Each structure stands twice: as structure tokens, then as C-alpha cells.
Amino acid sequence: MMVIAGISDATSLSLQPFDDTFVPVQAVKSEARMDKEEATPKHLPADIAVVVPAYNVGDRLDAVLEGLLSVVSAVIVVDDGSTDGCAKVAQELPVDLITFERNQGKGHALVAGYKKALENPAVQCVAVVDADGQHDPRELPRLYDAMNRHDADFVIGAREFGGGHVPLRSRVGNVLTISLSALLLGTRVRDTQSGYRVLSRRFLEEVLPGVKGGRYETEMELLGKAIGGGYKVTSVPIQTIYEEGNVSSHFHKVRDSYLIYRTLFATAWKARVRKL
């Protein structure tokens, strides 16, 4: 089953905390409200780079990269030890490619991509777009504009999961994670687990040396460090495309949920200790 949730103007958004089951925007007709500029996205300046962590996503990466290259000039693909040859398309396009000999986890791919992006002194912010197509490259200018408009260090593309298309198990998890994150971090975040993000160079240079990398919990660690460190965090509503049983998802519900919650508690605790 596949459904699309449109962009919402609501001030409060639900989230899908631990379910990476999404399909490419290109695979379905979007009914989300898109501004005219988004239908034909503007090409962003050279001060933004995009990291695309990829692991066994099949033929989905091609459309993602083509979409990104219509919006930005600097794209870095991190092949996290794929065995299906999905990253071969990156060799034929004007993008940088980092290849891990074996699978290490999304967090390690993110750290490697961020470090590569920061090697270019012109880059002042780094976006992350997932390789399986769950993020529409046409929405990247909106995240970029929000970072500049709010002088933010951390912009999250917040998905809408309030509709009936989301399974009860996921809706319960959404409420739990939103509430727990707000309680522990002291700030209510619209979508703690969205991988569609733009981070400032300042934030990455100051925080990245202390991030070892891991699996999906690295995304929570970075968000916790941003909030705990007093960096400005904001969000932009994005469309949501949901597919049960997405074969390109490598999220292990029990193990990765445990790691994310453990990281949330640990990061919140460290932030409180620093304030004492």
C-alpha cells in the first residue's frame, strides 16, 4: 500500500519515529500542494552541498541524483558497502563518490559525507537527502531558504503523519517519541527522525569531532547536540510518501529503536550535566 500526505500549513506536525518505509517521489503522482517555484526548482548557490548516504537502494538512486543535480552543484554520495551495485550510477554523473568496503551504518556514512563537504571552504551548509527517494529534491530550496531566513544551524524537513494512512503502531510511536523528546531535550521538535535536513557549517565544525557515527541513532545524536548546545533549530513542513514493507529500508525496528532511545537519553543527560 502506498499513500502520499501533502504539505501541511498546521503549526504542529506528527512524526514517524522509527519506520523508514518510503518510496521515491518520482514513483507516484504527488497531490501535495507545491508552489510554482517548487514545480520548477531554482538552482541553489554554491554554498550548499548535499550528502546522499546509500545502501542497497536498487535503481532508486538514479532519479534522486538527477533531481538533486537540477537544484545543486555539489553532491556527495556515500556508498555504505552496497552489494547490489546501486552506486554505479554515481560514477556516470558529476558527483563525488565515497565507497565503504563493507556496510558500516548510516551514521558513519553521514559523518564521512559531512567531512568531505567541509573540505570545500565555499560550503556553508550541508543537506542530507536519502537515497531511496523519500525526499523530494524540489523541496530543498525551501529548507535552504528557511536556514537563511531564520539564521538557523539545523533545519528539519518535518513530515506529516497525522492522517489515517499511518498504522496505529506508528501513530502511537509518534506521540511517544515527540513527548519523550520534548521532556528530555526541553524543546518540542516536529519530527525528530526525518532524515531530510540542512546543517550549518558552524554547527558541523563544532560538533562533528565528537560524533563517532553509528546507525540511525546518529541522527538523534546530532539533533540532541544541536538543542543541548543552544544552536537554532527550525523545521519546514514537507510532503510524506509512505509505503508499507519498503524493501529498500534497512531499519531494524527493535535494534534501531533501542539505539535511538538510548542515544536520546544519553544526549539529554550530557546536555543537562554541562549546564550544571
Residue ranges of domains in the chain: 2-275
Whether residue 65 has pLDDT greater than 90: yes
> pLDDT class for 216, splitting at 50, 70, 90?
confident
Rg (the chain; Cα; Å): 17
**Residue 104 CB partners (closer than 8 Å, separation 6+):** 80, 81, 213
- pLDDT per position as a tens digit, 120-151: 999 999 999 999 888 999 999 999 999 999 99
More confident residue, 233 or 21: 233
**Nearest-angstrom CA–CA distance, 206 and 250:** 30
The residue type found at 203 is F
CATH classification (class only), 2-275 = alpha beta
Mean pLDDT, rounded, of the chain:
79
DSSP state of 59: T
* HSE toward the beta carbon, residue 13, CA cutoff 13 A: 27
* φ and ψ at residue 73, rounded to 5 degrees: -100, -30
Determine the average pLDDT of the residues in 101-126: 96
pLDDT of residue 32: 39
Find residue 138's DSSP bridge partners.
none
Beta-strand ranges (E) seen in the chain are 2-5, 48-54, 74-79, 96-99, 125-128, 154-158, 197-200, 233-237, 240-243
> Cell numbers of 164, please?
489515517
**Looking at residues 162-180, what average pLDDT do you find?**
70
Least confident residue range of 129-138, 150-159, 172-181: 172-181
Alpha-carbon distance 130 to 113, whole Å? 12
pLDDT confidence band for 80 (50 / 70 / 90): very high
